[in-house]
């Protein structure tokens, strides 16, 4: 058996020896009582990094988004969101089930809504209309292939939101990938939003955990909602220690993942029949289409697995490969060889 190169997701990262050391040495207390020093330190550190007064540690990115949406809306409200966004696509219907809101979903090329689109979707105040109270953006946009939201577009949407008295939430699960790709500081992005969530457990390599940053009063509200959702954790400092380690050690290296994604995209582009637009690879996610091959995607997927290259299925013909800190440049070169072996012989249908 060849060694496995796991490109299914950046959630596959495992804690490094240094991170495990930090976990082992963490000081802990009961965080529901506000007494875990390591959680408190992580929350203060995250708030500072994102330029907000307060932060809250939660078990998952889904909970981070859900407590933020709940804190900013009332049942019967409408939120504006892109169709492919994680919040509506991959969170088990939680916004409707837990916040009682209805999503107004807009599709946008590469996941990036325009200010005009958002403005047109805000409901006029009328007894018949659900009040639009929240706009959710996603940066980087996962389903669109790790695309970066241009800061100018975010700012235009912010201006409209402010003038129409609508709040904004950023699903920044991979915000640090956007920071790395653009050089724009995380607090500059965060300044455009009431609430920002981000994941410690993806490319940053922690085993568990996400954060939400916001004002003191909103975070206080979210603490109660987190408890209601079952997310109040006790000696969570052993997890928070991993999160602190991730923020301190694993942000500066994200550019390696982006370079590896570029390398992979270039390799894929050379394989006849693979449809990929290299220009769209902006961060650590590579989407490619195998619909032009003679073999069915199911068979290609299985053969890749036999070769030790794991990717995920995105559409019936699209595969997603995500680079992360447990995948080296050599792994990518090996993965390209395997991809060539599997795909190159399967010439075009035409
Ligand atoms: C992964 C991810 C989340 C959170 O997912 P969890 O599995 O709940 O941690 C949220 N938003 C985006 C864009 C994601 O990619």
Per-residue pLDDT of the chain (350 residues; tens, 9 = 90+): 678 999 999 999 999 999 999 999 999 999 999 999 999 999 999 999 999 999 999 999 999 999 999 999 999 999 999 999 999 999 999 999 999 999 999 999 999 999 999 999 999 999 999 999 999 999 999 999 999 999 999 999 999 999 999 999 999 999 999 999 999 999 999 999 999 999 999 999 999 999 999 999 999 999 999 999 999 999 999 999 999 999 999 999 999 999 999 999 999 999 988 999 988 999 999 999 999 888 899 999 999 999 999 999 999 999 999 999 999 999 999 999 999 988 876 555 54
Give the residue whose CA is nearest to atom 10 of ligand 1. Answer: 61
Query: Residue 141 gets which letter from DSSP?
Result: B
Class of domain 253-343: alpha beta
CB 138 near ligand 1, within 6 Å = yes
Question: What is the average pLDDT value for the chain, to the nearest integer?
Answer: 96
Q: Closest by alpha carbon to 192, among 150, 253, 222, 243?
A: 150
pLDDT of res. 1: 63
Binding site membership of 10 for ligand 1 (Cβ less than 6 Å): no
Which pLDDT does position 346 carry in this prediction?
59
Q: Which of 236, 257, 279, 86 is nearest to 176 (CA)?
A: 257
Atom of ligand 1 nearest to the CA of 202: 1
Q: Are strands 102-106 and 5-6 parallel, antiparallel or unpaired?
A: unpaired
**Domains of the chain: which residue ranges?**
15-249, 253-343
Contact in structure between 349 and 318 (CB atoms under 8 Å): no
Q: What is the pLDDT of residue 350?
A: 45
Q: How far apart are CA 304 and CA 29, in angstroms?
A: 46
For ligand 1, pick from 94, 173, 201 the residue to mutate: most ligand atoms within 8 Å of CB: 173
Q: Which of 10, 60, 90 to mutate to test the pocket of ligand 1 (most atoms within 8 A of CB)?
A: 90
Pocket test for ligand 1, best of 142, 169, 239, 287 (most atoms within 8 A of CB): 142
CA of 285 to the centre of ligand 1 (A): 14
Helix (H) or strand (E) holding 99: helix 94-99
Query: Cα(317)–Cα(121) distance, rounded to whole angstroms?
Result: 32
User: Which residues share a beta bridge with 214?
Assistant: 54
Element (H, E) at 343: helix 329-343
Ligand 1 atom nearest residue 65's Cα = 10
Cβ(60) – ligand 1 distance below 6 Å: yes
Distance 136 CA to ligand 1 centre (A): 14
In whole angstroms, give the CA distance from residue 45 to residue 197.
14
Q: Is CATH 3.40.720.10 the right assignment for the domain spanning 15-249?
A: no
CA of 292 to the centre of ligand 1 (A): 30
Q: Are 304 and 338 in contact (CB under 8 A)?
A: yes
Q: Would you say the CB of residue 156 lies under 6 angstroms from ligand 1?
A: no
- Which atom, in ligand 1's list, is nearest to the CA of 60? 9
pTM of this structure: 0.96
């Amino acid at each position: 058996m060849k060694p496995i190169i796991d490109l299914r997701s950046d959630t596959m990262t495992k804690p490094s020896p240094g991170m495990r050391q930090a976990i082992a040495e963490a000081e802990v207390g009961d965080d529901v009582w506000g007494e875990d020093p390591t959680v408190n330190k992580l929350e203060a550190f995250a708030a500072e990094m994102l330029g907000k007064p307060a932060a809250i540690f939660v078990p998952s990115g889904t909970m981070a988004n859900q407590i933020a949406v709940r804190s900013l809306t009332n049942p019967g409200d409408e939120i504006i969101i892109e169709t492919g966004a994680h919040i509506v696509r991959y969170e088990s219907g939680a916004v409707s089930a837990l916040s009682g809101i209805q999503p107004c979903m807009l599709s946008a090329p590469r996941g990036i809504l325009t200010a005009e689109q958002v403005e047109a979707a805000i409901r006029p105040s009328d007894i018949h209309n659900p009040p639009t109270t929240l706009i959710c953006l996603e940066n980087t946009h996962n389903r669109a292939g790790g695309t970066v939201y241009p800061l100018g577009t975010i700012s235009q949407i912010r201006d409209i939101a402010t003038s129409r008295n609508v709040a904004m939430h950023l699903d920044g699960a991979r915000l640090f990938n956007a920071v790395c790709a653009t050089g724009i500081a995380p607090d500059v992005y965060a300044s455009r939003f009431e609430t920002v969530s981000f994941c410690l457990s993806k490319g940053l390599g922690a085993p568990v955990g996400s954060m939400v940053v916001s004002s003191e009063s909103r975070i206080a509200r979210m603490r109660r909602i987190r408890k209601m959702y079952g997310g109040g954790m006790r000696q969570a400092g052993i997890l928070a220690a991993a999160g602190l380690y991730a923020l301190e050690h694993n942000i500066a290296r994200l550019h390696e993942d982006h370079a590896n994604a570029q390398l992979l995209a270039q390799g894929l582009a050379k394989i006849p029949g693979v449809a990929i637009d290299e220009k769209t690879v902006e961060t650590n996610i590579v989407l490619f289409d195998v619909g032009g091959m003679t073999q069915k995607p199911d068979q290609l997927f299985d053969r890749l697995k036999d070769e030790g290259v794991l990717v995920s299925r995105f559409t019936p013909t699209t595969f997603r490969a995500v680079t992360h800190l447990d995948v080296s440049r050599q792994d990518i070169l090996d993965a390209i060889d395997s991809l060539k072996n599997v795909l190159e012989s399967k010439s075009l249908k035409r």
